[in-house]
A and B are shown apart, each in its own frame.
Chain A
Amino acid sequence: MTLALAVDIGLALLILAMAAWTIAVRDTFASVIGFVTYGLLLTLVWVRLALPDVALTEAAMGGGLTGALLIGAAARLRRTEATVRERPGVLTRTLAAVLSATVTAALSFCVLNLPDPAPTLAPAAAAKLGSTGVGNPVTAVLLAYRSMDTLLEAIVVLIALFGVWSLAHDRFWGGCPQLRTHADSEGILAYFARILPPIGIIVGVYIFWIGADFPGGKFQGATILAAMWLLVIGAGLAYLPPISRIWLRILLVAGPLVFIVIGFAGLVTAGAVFAYPDGFAKPLILAIEIALMPTLVLALALLVAGAPQRMPPQ
């Protein structure tokens, strides 16, 4: 017990230190590394709180994907950053600090005074689990009780991708996004890019598949698969497809469209949009997840890769 307490206190202190480091450090790259570490520490907190679903999501999205995006951004900024140094004035920084401290204090006060036991919908979500056919209540929330939110979140990812692509130069429209590669076909990166993906793909698919009944799910699985794809591309062993490719576009929209079609089929078979007929809930939920998987893998990887930067070789 005391050991657990010591671990918790240590974690809390480390997280505060990483947060302070992320804000205080001058170098963008160092700040990003601080942020990724902070995300991984948060993952441990969720594990300590016995919330493996949240922990997996934090590790995949908060630490992994966001980290990759930020590292990419920091790498792009590196060349120009040294010349343009805009620093907010003392007054701005003081105001920001005061504001943040006030919000933190108010939030801490509210959180410490939350009703005990906290009102929760968890028993209700667990009680109805039988009619969804899945064993993981988080999956039931995401794909049955609040499936519209999940559908729209998948669409958000696509809209964000359109936004990133809209920054392309006009003459490269329809072309290929490009990762900054350090292609050395005999280097260590290429070695890893050959060894890791088979393992990563199995892990990713497993996390996706197990999500129906145990902690895991499509977003976390998709992030791992996207990372494997990017590893192969980053090592120069494969290229990203041009964004005008029809198969790419079909896969990108397939997830949300299948989701919507199955949702509306519920109107006929179960009396409401996004309802599942008795006994078919689990296969339909799986069908939606399988369709969403390529959409998410492609969209997440392409978000990291950025806007198209060259035309495909003729």
Chain B
Amino acid sequence: MPHSLSSQDVTTPGGLLLVLAILIPFVGMLIGFVFGGGKAQRVALATLAAGLAIVIAIAHALVQSGDAVIYILGGWKPPLGVALRADGLSVVMLVAIAVVICGIGVYARADFGTPSGVKEARAPLTFWLLLLAVWGSLNLVFVSGDLFTLYVALELLTFAAVPLVSLDGRSETVRSALRYLLYALLGSVLYLLGAVLLYGVYGTLDIPLLAIRVRPEPAAWAALALMISGLLAKTALFPLHLWLPPAHAGAPAAASAVLSGLVIKGSWFLAVRIWFDVFAGVVTLPSAQMLGGLGAAAILVGNVVALRQTRLKLLIAYSTVAQIGYLFLMFPLATGLSSAGLDSVVSVNGGMLQAISHAMAKAAMFMAAGLVYATLGHDRVADLRGLASALPMTVLAFALAGASLIGLPPSGGFLAKWLLISAAITTLQWWWALVMLAGGLLTSVYVFIVVVRTLAPAHEGWKPKSPVPRYQQAVVLALALCSFLLGAAVLCPVDVMQIGRTVSRNTLLP
């Protein structure tokens, strides 16, 4: 263990890429703001391309070295300074988020172009600046190795995400944005309280150092409870999900894709990070079961309420509430495995795959809903006739993304749920498997209803309200296909997600 620790504290080859992955989006935002107008969009798109290249280079560095990529900021080693660390989990999230955000960027060119004849417009400029801000903040969440830097990341993410909800300026969306802001701020405060408590007791905010020092005692339990509750409010896990449906459904399509596909993954990832890497020696099976119980309730309630929705965007938003539930089943399963002396890798990988495949599928679904709205002028589920002939690619994309949410092979959702269910069976926690199967069944009903409705022939003489650019349809289909084919990850020769995670595994098995 001392050996693995000392290797944690030096900058590795490729470490500089981590700094770039965080700062390039923010630099793009600052420069885009100075130029403004249509130039901001061009700066944003160039930044997306550069950021994608950087993230791929990070993945390359990780696989090449077979160990975590690390950067010591300013040469100040922790605990005094801050280290950036990208292990397998970080890198997989970095890559997935980069792919989705680039897809959203391409799609949004049509919806958030600056109108001709105007020097600058409010919604487009805000969207492009905040898209970059969300990306930089998420990258920071994935690679930061310090609990306070992670708090800054949460703040950045909140302030970048909330205005996206009310981009269209209607008063009811401002209301949902305000509600989201209140939940998110409460979450930040609780997280910060926990972090402060940890510093007070253990004298460091560095994750690997804390993992060694933290002990099962009241202060650690209190910090864990505060931080996890705060993150649950931000992730919208049942019963703290009330802010999510109006916020995600009311935003413009591209913004909904950012919020529902990406933003909630930030706080979820942070919960995973502190649960497994900080508090591995503190968490107990009953506390994990409680998180799992909330997850199971989210799956059942979210899906049933989604079934009753009459508007497509609200249906998709409630489906997010349900899918978040799966993300939290990973906790009792992993803790169950490690307390039985088994390797928790199966369930951690299952949870991560669920996060990634949902990010892709949900972004595709919300953007598909945007195209549906543009074509029909409404998004009433009962009246989707003629869509399949007007937008065949989009309907196919919706069906493929839906298949991934249901968990049909060979989708990423299938592999995720299969890993989670097999972990449930190994640890004799069969009830979680039942919930997952029931959730899949309910999801298949509403996906099926939507797809069947689109197959109905259009009325005589019906014409699309406005034409939809082909590239928008193509990018939605591409994201849905990514999610649908993600199950092929099982063929990957190395377990990328577990690269560089030796320290946490040592502490899991004392």
Contacts and interface: CB of A to CB of B under 8 A. Distances in A.
Interface of A: 103, 106-107, 109-111, 113-115, 118-121, 124-125, 128, 144-149, 152-153, 155-156, 158-160, 162-163, 165-170, 173-174, 244, 246, 249-250, 252-253, 256-257, 260, 266-267, 270-276
A173 B118 CA distance: 11
B119 A270 contact: no
Contacts of B193: 107
Contacts of B148: 146, 149
B226 to A, nearest CB: 8
A272 B36 contact: no
B203 A119 contact: yes
A239 B19 CA distance: 40
15 contacts: A109-B222, A110-B197, A113-B219, A124-B79, A128-B76, A146-B149, A156-B152, A156-B159, A166-B163, A173-B120, A244-B36, A253-B30, A266-B74, A272-B75, A275-B74
Contacts of A168: 122
B32 to A, nearest CB: 10
Interface stretch (B125-133, B306-314, B321-329, B402-410): B125-133
B166 A166 contact: yes
A119 B201 contact: yes
B203 A170 contact: no
Nearest to A248: B34
Q: Dominant SS at the B interface?
A: helix
A166 B80 contact: no
A126 to B, nearest CB: 11
B11 to A, nearest CB: 7
Given A156-B159, A274-B73, A165 B126 contact: yes
Contacts of B149: 146, 148-149, 152
B482 to A, nearest CB: 29
Interface string B74-102: 11100111100000000000000000000
Which 10 pairs from chain A and chain B are nearest by CB? Answer: A119-B203, A274-B74, A163-B163, A253-B30, A272-B75, A173-B122, A166-B163, A166-B126, A110-B219, A159-B159
Contact of B201 (A115, A149, A270): A115
Contacts of B174: 167
Contacts of A148: 73-74, 82, 149
B74 A260 contact: no
Given A107-B193, A107-B222, A159-B160, 8 more contacts: A110-B201, A115-B201, A152-B140, A158-B30, A167-B169, A170-B122, A250-B34, A256-B30
Contacts of A162: 33, 126, 129-130, 133, 163
A155 B202 contact: no
A277 B119 CA distance: 43
Interface in B157-208: 159-160, 162-163, 166-167, 169, 174, 193, 197, 200-204
A256 B26 contact: yes
A153 B218 contact: no
Nearest to B23: A260
A195 B257 CA distance: 52
Given A121-B203, A170-B122, A147 B74 contact: yes
Contacts of A114: 200-201, 219
A159 B163 CA distance: 10
B200 A111 contact: yes
A116 to B, nearest CB: 11
A81 B481 CA distance: 50
B21 interface: no
Contact of A166 (B75, B156, B167): B167
Contact of A106 (B36, B163, B222): B222
Contacts of B33: 158, 162, 249, 252-253
A164 B370 CA distance: 26
Q: Dominant SS at the A interface?
A: helix
A244 B75 contact: no
B152 A249 contact: no
B160 to A, nearest CB: 5
Given A110-B222, A121-B79, A160 B73 contact: no
Contacts of B122: 165-166, 168, 170, 173
Contact of B76 (A109, A145, A167, A257): A145
Contacts of A118: 200, 203
Contacts of A250: 34
Interface residues of B, number: 59
B74 A149 contact: no
A145 B74 contact: yes
Nearest to B121: A173
B468 interface: no
Contacts of A106: 222, 225
B105 to A, nearest CB: 18
B26 A155 contact: yes
B34 A246 contact: yes
B31 interface: yes
B333 interface: no
B156 A273 contact: no
A215 to B, nearest CB: 21
Given A156-B152, A162-B126, A244 B73 contact: no
Contact of A146 (B36, B81, B203, B223): B81
Contact of A159 (B71, B120, B123, B156): B156
Nearest to A150: B152
Contacts of A270: 75
A272 B9 CA distance: 14
A256 B156 CA distance: 14
A246 B34 CA distance: 7
Nearest to A250: B34
Nearest to B19: A273
B72 interface: yes
Contacts of B36: 244, 249
A160 B188 CA distance: 15
B155 A128 contact: no
Contacts of B126: 162, 165-166
B136 to A, nearest CB: 8
Contacts of A272: 11, 72-75
Contact of B159 (A124, A147, A163, A165): A163
Given A148-B149, A155-B156, A167 B166 contact: yes
A109 B218 contact: yes
B76 to A, nearest CB: 5
Contacts of B202: 119
Nearest to B156: A156
B102 to A, nearest CB: 21
B77 to A, nearest CB: 10
B489 interface: no
Contacts of B121: 170, 173
B82 A149 contact: yes
B73 to A, nearest CB: 5
B75 A152 contact: no
B45 interface: no
B52 interface: no
Contacts of B478: none
B130 A159 contact: yes
A166 B177 CA distance: 12
Nearest to A152: B152
A229 B23 CA distance: 31
B16 interface: yes
A253 B31 contact: yes
B416 to A, nearest CB: 32
B242 interface: no
